[in-house]
Structure 1
């Protein structure tokens, strides 16, 4: 059975059935027994448990997979001095795509004016989170306790520690070769574990999305419809036009093959709304489906899940214009430049977990002189948009991995072009 098809079917069924359950639960005349079954037994019971177990099963592999894979990639570098150039290329490309993403979002938002004439109220007593300073973000990249960093899932700290260990193994002679070989074996075992987990994906995706849509429905439409449309349009343009254009320009490879091989990853990202939870699936696809060498993929993918927030930047750009228009406040060119710069910096060190875009949006609004309480305007529909923008984020992670690998001579183009590459045989 085709995994992509099964996941897609599960996703569509979950959205439809979950939305119907939400409508039924909103009906005051619904039989109390049926209400109890739909809400307590199914949405908040069986399916929620299965969905949470699915997410936990993905997350449990993230830290060991990133650590082991990155150590393997670094320790086997013939010239470890090239790690600096690889890192620089990766970071510059991620920041470039983020800058392009938010610029596109600001352009579309000013073109469509989603907040003009909006008469909506903030949802609840929203208290904006305290924004972290750039100094704190930079200091927090370097671990003082690597075990604690792994336990708390602080991916930048895990990446830094893994790079240091990889460099040390690569320079430790015979002892390093033995340890490096052991890490290779662990990497193969963890990749196999990812493959096994993917076979259960349709069930996990269905359970997760059914619970979400039974609880939230399709979100608050009406005054937010144009806002949602603007965000979705910007996300699709960035994922289906900007990324393919960059890929074709910088590598000459086929964007259609690239997008076709990423379908599973995008579906996983959509269903989990977490770049970090999708890391195992992204890493497997980038290495085995797209032909990216482990030394590039093991660095670019986890780093991208942490600092590459193109989808989030798009939401922040549109939300900034929407909130300004809703509160009838004017933004000038300097404000827009500050929004672009702040959104790019805010993405560094941000955890790839659901809803994190709302945290960094507070920082962006503060720089633009807008009330952070305006975030309450978009809370009702953010969960659905978060799922879409996470799919865009992981697409960007894969695209940058392929481009960097191509420039570093670490891309197997035959494997990239082979439609059967990385497909598990029955």
Structure 2
């Protein structure tokens, strides 16, 4: 009986159990064996680190082949150049629109709540930020000089551009192109099967990640920046659970509650891994098989969103800019705030290709309005936890945009969207993938 009940547990339930169990396990070890060298070396940095890293690496392993293959499949099915241009224009416009909303809301709420306190400034604050690229460099670096090198380095913007050009070329060489397209469609089925296999390991990977976090995250780090932490968290939740559902309802007329329920797996993956790119395989599968988005749209908008749509990061940058200005007693003008919105919105285009992601982009924004970059050291302690939440917000935004654009392009199966059982792990998608094996 126990075995039968265990089999009925869905992936979301298993991930939640893994997450809760990991946190409890980590806190238990932390309280029972404080400052234990054995626990630190063999459990935290040993067993848990190895399991968590393998899980995240397994997801990241799929990102480049998944993005390239699925994007080639999607692009080569769009033989009409005007349709490809229209899809790209809508996608980028929607992403920039939501990023601007996120930033404006973050700045306004931070000004109203005033989380910064000038007494926080102390001597010795330091943050060695790597130099952020200029907007011109970001645009130039979109074009790969070596596509294979871009794939080996995981440069997503370059991979996306090459995949679009490659897929477009396939669609314009007649019968030979159809044969190549058929090969990529078969490869796409293979890579999606690998996604389902990796997803079965999720509860164990999430357990290890959460346990390690509970063992290493010091409560004292919240101290003086507790107010900043809750302001950022509040704006992230507001954007994720109010703004996005409202935009979905306004632009598509679809039920936002159905959308949120079906996004739980993706949000949990994003929260656990703190990486939009690592979550991308799960996001694409959910969009196609749980939400009913056509592959040729999902395979274009989601990889692009994981690269340029960083609303969660933009919220952090907006609140952090106001917070640091208040801490150092710098009065920003309306022009300065407008510059923060413009700079951070445009900077989001290059965020994913920069090591250190949000904090380095924050350095660019702070420099733009003349604030000391050293202030970043105040928020480093809580950034890891906030990074997990804002990644969940980022992937939610990517998927909202994908559903809205799919609806406008006639590429959304509303029957699948409204079916609560559609695409569940034990449901239609796995049966479709496993079908040939069962029959043989």
TM-score bracket, shorter-length normalisation: over 0.9
Q: In structure 1, what is the equivalent of residue 69 of structure 2?
A: 68
1:125 equivalent in alignment to 2:126: yes
Q: In structure 2, what is the equivalent of residue 171 of structure 1?
A: 172
Partners of 1:219 and 1:380 within 8 A in 2:
no
**Aligned residue runs from structure 1 range 94-113, under 5 A:** 94-113=95-114
Aligned residue for 2:193, secondary structure, equals: helix
1:265 equivalent in alignment to 2:238: no
Partners of 2:79 and 2:168 within 8 A in 1:
no
CA distance in 2, matches of 1:16, 1:315: 28
Aligned residue for 2:69, secondary structure, equals: helix
**Aligned residue runs from structure 1 range 153-168, under 5 A:** 153-168=154-169
CA distance in 2, matches of 1:289, 1:164: 29
Shift of 1:219: 5.9
Partners of 1:235 and 1:392 within 8 A in 2:
yes
Partners of 1:72 and 1:295 within 8 A in 2:
yes
Shift of 1:209: 2.0
Structure 2 segments unaligned to the other structure (5+ residues): 1-8, 428-440
CA distance in 1, matches of 2:319, 2:20: 27
Q: In structure 2, what is the equivalent of residue 5 of structure 1?
A: 13
Q: In structure 2, what is the equivalent of residue 419 of structure 1?
A: 420
CA distance in 1, matches of 2:27, 2:405: 41
Aligned residue for 1:276, secondary structure, equals: helix
Partners of 1:146 and 1:161 within 8 A in 2:
yes
**Aligned residue runs from structure 1 range 84-103, under 5 A:** 84-103=85-104
Partners of 2:235 and 2:315 within 8 A in 1:
yes
The number of equivalent residue pairs is 419
Pick which of 272-281 and 14-23 moved more. Answer: 14-23
CA distance in 1, matches of 2:179, 2:294: 21
CA distance in 2, matches of 1:229, 1:162: 40
Q: In structure 2, what is the equivalent of residue 397 of structure 1?
A: 398
Shift of 1:83: 0.2
Query: How big is the alpha-carbon RMSD for the aligned residues of Structure 1 and Structure 2?
Result: 1.6
Q: In structure 2, what is the equivalent of residue 361 of structure 1?
A: 362
Q: In structure 2, what is the equivalent of residue 212 of structure 1?
A: 213
Q: Deviations over 1:76-124 (max 9, x none)?
A: 1242321001000000000000000011100110111100355254886
CA distance in 1, matches of 2:123, 2:395: 31
CA distance in 1, matches of 2:353, 2:14: 26
TM-score scaled by length of structure 1: 0.95
Q: In structure 2, what is the equivalent of residue 14 of structure 1?
A: 22
CA distance in 1, matches of 2:356, 2:421: 35
Q: In structure 2, what is the equivalent of residue 77 of structure 1?
A: 78
Shift of 1:361: 0.1
Shift of 1:36: 3.0
Q: In structure 1, what is the equivalent of residue 376 of structure 2?
A: 375
Partners of 1:270 and 1:388 within 8 A in 2:
yes
Q: In structure 2, what is the equivalent of residue 322 of structure 1?
A: 323
CA distance in 1, matches of 2:306, 2:357: 12
Aligned residue for 1:277, secondary structure, equals: helix
CA distance in 2, matches of 1:115, 1:261: 37
Q: In structure 2, what is the equivalent of residue 255 of structure 1?
A: 256
CA distance in 1, matches of 2:126, 2:330: 21
Structure 1 segments unaligned to the other structure (5+ residues): none
TM-score scaled by length of structure 2: 0.92
Aligned residue for 1:271, secondary structure, equals: helix
CA distance in 1, matches of 2:124, 2:116: 16
Aligned residue for 1:351, secondary structure, equals: helix
CA distance in 2, matches of 1:220, 1:301: 34
Partners of 2:273 and 2:388 within 8 A in 1:
yes
Q: In structure 2, what is the equivalent of residue 311 of structure 1?
A: 312
- Structure 1 residues 219 and 317: CA distance shift in structure 2, 3 A: farther
